[in-house]
Amino acid sequence: MGEKVYELRKIKKKGKGMPLIGDKFPKMEVQTTQGMMKLPKDFKGKWFILFSHPADFTPVCTTEFVAFQLRYELFQELNCELIGLSVDQVFSHLKWIQWIAEHFDLDIEFPIIADTGKVADTLGLIHPNKGTNTVRAVFIVDPEGVIRAILYYPQELGRNIDEILRMVEGLQTAAEKEVAIPANWPCNEIIGKGLIIPPPSDMDSAVKRSEEEYKCFDWWLCYRNYYKW
């Protein structure tokens, strides 16, 4: 595994490949529907999600943009901004935003990058055998400009925006409380909204588990209720 990661990083240094989880988000200046922006600089101190879509005026992408906008305030409550992207000119984005407003009475408030292909190439977003169309990618970036999660979807499958919201909240909770997040959190089938305590690193720590305010199924699987933090 270590050798594979090393090879990926060697390829990336040669200008190929895509950024990896844990890497700094590449510095870039982009044209958007809200003017020129510098990434990740303009989102410093905030989380942000850069998500790409194959093209404007397409059915699945339209449903996604409506879903993102309907949850935009929820993202902002998590100190998280949104920025979209596709290889379309800015006037196409603006016309599409206008079309969405006219048909769904909904204003798209977050910026959309009008990419020439340079950003998509840097981030590894071009869909194989689909010309210049970008895949449905999601980059979740923390306030320090570090990529914390990457998601990729095929063109025919729309994203679950609630899952992306859950990921941001989960990543923030994991970092703040130094815990791990269980499956389907906060509705996990075993521990509900509980948060998993990292496994002990030595025998003394394992023995002390029973003295802590944890609930354990075994020494390596302990959790603490969220509300007790």
Query: What proportions of the chain, in percent to the nearest 5, are helix, strand and coil?
Result: 35, 25, 40
Active-site option among 61, 80, 216, 222: 61
DSSP sequence for 71-120: THHHHHHTTEEEEEEESS-HHHHHHHHHHHHHHHS----S-EEE--SHHH
CA dist 210 and 104 (Å) reads 55
Cβ atoms of residues 127 and 146 within 8 Å: no
Is 61 labeled as catalytic in the residue annotation? yes
Bridge partners of 72, per DSSP, are none
Residues taking part in catalysis: 61
